A and B are shown apart, each in its own frame.
Chain A
Amino acid sequence: MITLENLGMDFGSVRAVDSLSVTVAPGKVTGFLGPNGAGKTTTMRMLLGLDAPSSGRALVNGVRYAQLAAPLRTVGALLEPRTGHRGQRADSHLRGLARSNRIPVARVDAVLQEVGLGEAGRRRIGTYSLGMRQRLGIAAALLGEPEVLVFDEPVNGLDADGVAWIRDLMRAKAAAGATVFVSSHLMSEMQSTADHLVVIGRGKLLADQSMDAVLAASAQTAVVVSSPQAGVLAAGLERAGYLVAVAGPDSLRVTGATTQEVGGVAHSLGVRINELGLRRASLEQAYTELTAQSLDYVPTRIGEEP
Chain B
Amino acid sequence: MSGTKATQVDSMKQAARAGAGGARTVEAGPRPGFRAAMAFEFTKLWAVRSTRTTLAVALAAQLAMAWLIGFSAWASGVNGYESAMPAPFMALACLQLAQLIIATLAALAITSEYSNGTIISSLQAVPVRSRLLGAKAAVLGIVGLGSGVVLVGSGTLVAALAAGTYGAFTVSDLLLALAGGGAYLGMLALVMLGIGALLRSTAGAITGAFVLLFGLPQLLPLFAVDWVQRVVVYLPTTAGQVLGTGAVEPYGSATAIAVLVAWAGVLLGAGMWVFTRRDA
B47 near A69: Cβ-Cβ < 8 Å: no
Contact A100-B126, Cβ < 8 Å, known A82-B117, A84-B116, A87-B48? yes
Interface segment among B35-43, B153-161, B182-190: the answer is B35-43
Known contacts A88-B47, A99-B43; decide if A72 and B28 are in contact (CB<8 Å): no
Q: Once the chains bind, are B123 and A50 in contact (CB under 8 Å)?
A: yes
B25 contacts which chain A residues (CB < 8 A)?
61-63, 68-69, 74
Q: Are A104 and B3 in contact (CB under 8 A)?
A: yes
The CA of A86 and the CA of B47, in the complex, are separated in Å by 11
Q: How far is the CB of A138 from chain B (nearest CB, A)?
A: 12
| Contacting residues, chain A, for B27 (C-beta < 8 A) | 68-70, 73-74
| A86 and B116 form a contact (CB under 8 A) | yes
Name B36's contact: one of A68, A82, A100 (CB within 8 Å). A100
Contacting A at CB under 8 A, from B40-91, are 40, 43-44, 47-50
B contact residues around A69 at 8 Å (CB)? 24-25, 27, 31-32
Segment 156-195 of A: residues with Cβ below 8 Å from B: none
A/B pair count, beta carbons within 8 Å: 127
Contacts of B134 in A (CB 8 A): none
A84 to B43, CA, bound (A): 12
Contact A88 B4 (CB under 8 A): no
User: How many residues belonging to B are interface residues under a CB distance threshold of 8 Å?
Assistant: 39
Most buried by A among B24, B47, B280: B47
**Given A50-B123, A62-B23, A66-B128, residue A102 in contact with residue B30 (CB < 8 A):** yes
Instruction: Assess the A70–B29 pair: CB atoms within 8 A.
Output: yes
Q: Name A104's contact: one of B7, B32, B43, B112 (CB within 8 Å).
A: B7
User: Closest approach, in angstroms, between the C-beta of B120 and any C-beta of chain A?
Assistant: 4
Q: What residues make up the interface of A, taking CB atoms closer than 8 Å to B?
A: 45, 48-52, 61-63, 65-66, 68-75, 77, 79-80, 82-89, 92-93, 95-97, 99-107, 110, 124, 140, 145
Asked whether B280 lies within 8 Å of A50 as measured between CB atoms, the reply is yes
Tell me whether A96 and B43 are in contact in the complex, defined as CB-CB below 8 angstroms, given that A51-B280, A102-B31 are known contacts: yes
Give the residues in chain A near B30, CB-CB below 8 Å: 102
| A51 and B279 form a contact (CB under 8 A) | yes
Residues of chain A contacted by B280 (CB below 8 angstroms): 45, 50-51
Task: List 30 interface pairs A-B (beta carbons < 8 Å), by A numbering.
Answer: A45-B279, A45-B280, A48-B127, A49-B127, A51-B279, A69-B24, A69-B27, A69-B31, A70-B31, A71-B124, A71-B127, A72-B125, A75-B124, A80-B121, A84-B116, A84-B117, A84-B121, A85-B47, A92-B47, A93-B47, A96-B39, A97-B121, A99-B36, A100-B32, A100-B126, A102-B31, A104-B4, A104-B6, A104-B7, A105-B3
Shortest B199–chain A CB gap in Å is: 19
Q: Most chain-A Cβ atoms within 10 A of its Cβ — which of B23, B28, B120?
A: B120
CB pair A85–B120 under 8 Å, yes or no, is no
Q: Is the CB of B121 within 8 A of A101?
A: no
How long is the Cα–Cα vector from A302 to B41 in the complex, in angstroms?
40
Q: Which of A83, A96, A104, A105 has the most CB of B within 10 A?
A: A96
Find the A residue at minimum CB distance from B120: A80
The answer to whether A107 and B3 touch across the interface, beta carbons within 8 angstroms, is: yes
B118 within 8 A of A: yes
Question: Of B40, B48, B50, B127, which one neighbours A65 at CB under 8 angstroms?
Answer: B127
Q: How far, in angstroms, from A285 to B127 measured CA to CA in the complex?
A: 40
* Least distance between B88 CB and chain A CB atoms (Å): 35
CA distance A101 to B30 in the complex (A): 8
* Smallest CB separation, B92 vs chain A (Å): 31
CA distance A69 to B25 in the complex (A): 9
Q: Find out whether the CB atom of A87 lies under 8 angstroms from the CB atom of B49.
A: yes
- The minimal Cβ–Cβ distance linking B51 to chain A, given in whole angstroms, is 9
A50-B47 contact, Cβ under 8 Å, with A74-B25, A100-B37, A107-B3: no
Complex alpha-carbon distance, A84 and B125, angstroms:
13
B50: A residues at CB distance < 8 A: 87
